[in-house]
Structure 1
């Protein structure tokens, strides 16, 4: 028994941390379900031009507010447009906003967090106070304020969402850097005269990425919700863009007479966010050694 455990430990070390994390991730059925949901929406977004039965702005007023049928799977809206086609293209927009806003937050937040954690002193004080001020506001309220200044549009909504999430990644990286920079290999690198830039981007940053990946996955779900909220308020995507939040806003007056106009965009938002949350929980369990047995 002891020999078998030793062999398992040796094999795990030889496999590497990322392969071990993947093996751990695969063991969770719930996480795989979340990854499957996300993968399905990504495929639908990529293949939307091939799958969509009609154009997203193709109007037919004689077919307005038609219930789901064989011709229109999700029914039609108040302009007679096919809701299924618009939901498919809406996946493109929501995923685009989610991914790129989070990438922007990670890049800026990681840079600020590394500088604050590594150099400390007045650099840490200034950056940390900026993060504290931003976190003092509710995220959606801060996003609304930024879009109000920049002007309502999908691009400005993406920028606002990216700015709102910067402190989350900055503080996460800062805390990780504070612990890593005390390690012996960092002290040795400084002793042999290695430049700060090389230490930061070759040693500290790669060893800080695990929690960022987890937080980034969960942040995509949050970004999709925030984009939908801004679209619902008229501050995000503008008509006739088929963004899910904007579709909900346009359909709210038909909730009683034509509920399908709101149900299907709402389900799309719910499933996408659920998929990213389930996948993020699985990644957290796989990448965080404290969560392992």
Structure 2
């Protein structure tokens, strides 16, 4: 009830949830609502204006723009969700062990994190993607390679501040194993900050996915990914700007909705912000 009351008190958060719900609906049920096959090439229908058959018109190969946008939501949002889950699965245990165990293990793990984080994220990601080759799997690996470190740092800092508190010391004195202490007392403390960080990161990850596909290092033709659609429409921007406007607006709406939800989560879950 308190969470629902907080959402009602924050119209921007409710707007973000509504936008993201609509996009998730399109992602889940897109194949059943699109009017045309997003991969079918019809040169006789190229660059058509919006119509009943093609709600957003067609691209330079006669493919339905609306159908490609809806199918692209599955790829872009699905890949972003996989990235978030993967970086959390890697970063949370690393930060948890590093902060709780400490000592030499903490030194080794943090030196790895600091060494990998010394270079700009974009340079590391584009190097990994370029080395592995242009496809969605390698794009996922390149983004995971730069994002897990942030989660490890956040979790470690929380664990370092919590492990010396009385309730943790009492659990250790009572004979609780390291796993029991982490599971019962430390993991609940890190969930809220991780949720907020993940909500903020979704927008950034979607922009990274689109950017790499725009550069040719992500989705490859004829995959209907939003960044790749931006690249396809670039030569026609002056004559048919809709080819870039529609996928650009889709990316913008997702990023805005994720940021609005992240702000609401931060206000709700972060005691210091309240």
**Which TM-score applies when normalising by structure 1?**
0.90
Farther-moved stretch of structure 1 (271-280 vs 160-169)? 160-169
Counterpart check, 1:269 vs 2:260: no
Query: Match of 2:152?
Result: 170
Counterpart check, 1:241 vs 2:211: no
Over residues 145-165 of structure 1, what are the superposed CA-to-partner deviations in whole Å (9 max), with x where a residue is unaligned? 111222211111112112211
**Which TM-score applies when normalising by structure 2?**
0.96
Query: Match of 1:180?
Result: 162
Over residues 14-58 of structure 1, what are the superposed CA-to-partner deviations in whole Å (9 max), with x where a residue is unaligned? xxxxx5445323321101101111111000111111211000111
Distance 2:164 2:7 in 1: 30
Report if aligned partners of 1:110, 1:173 keep a CA contact under 8 Å in 2.
yes
Counterpart of 1:87 (choices 57, 69, 73) is 69
> Secondary structure at the residue paired with 1:182?
coil
Query: Match of 1:112?
Result: 94
Over residues 46-76 of structure 1, what are the superposed CA-to-partner deviations in whole Å (9 max), with x where a residue is unaligned? 1111211000111111110112233312111
Report if aligned partners of 1:101, 1:162 keep a CA contact under 8 Å in 2.
yes
> Secondary structure at the residue paired with 1:56?
coil
1:133 Cα deviation from its structure 2 partner: 2.3
5+ unaligned residues in a row in structure 2: which ranges? none
Counterpart of 1:128 (choices 106, 110, 113) is 110
> Secondary structure at the residue paired with 2:272?
helix
Counterpart of 1:53 (choices 17, 32, 35) is 35
Report if aligned partners of 1:108, 1:166 keep a CA contact under 8 Å in 2.
yes
Query: Match of 1:253?
Result: 235
1:132-211 mapped onto 2 (5 Å cutoff): 132-211=114-193
Distance 1:242 1:43 in 2: 17
Aligned residues: 274
Distance 1:95 1:208 in 2: 25
Query: Match of 2:7?
Result: 25
Query: Match of 2:261?
Result: 279
Report if aligned partners of 1:22, 1:286 keep a CA contact under 8 Å in 2.
no
Counterpart of 2:195 (choices 188, 213, 218) is 213
Distance 2:162 2:3 in 1: 20
Over residues 86-115 of structure 1, what are the superposed CA-to-partner deviations in whole Å (9 max), with x where a residue is unaligned? 000100111111111011111110111011
1:251 Cα deviation from its structure 2 partner: 1.2
5+ unaligned residues in a row in structure 1: which ranges? 1-18
Counterpart check, 1:228 vs 2:214: no
Query: Match of 2:50?
Result: 68
Report if aligned partners of 1:25, 1:285 keep a CA contact under 8 Å in 2.
no
Distance 1:149 1:59 in 2: 32
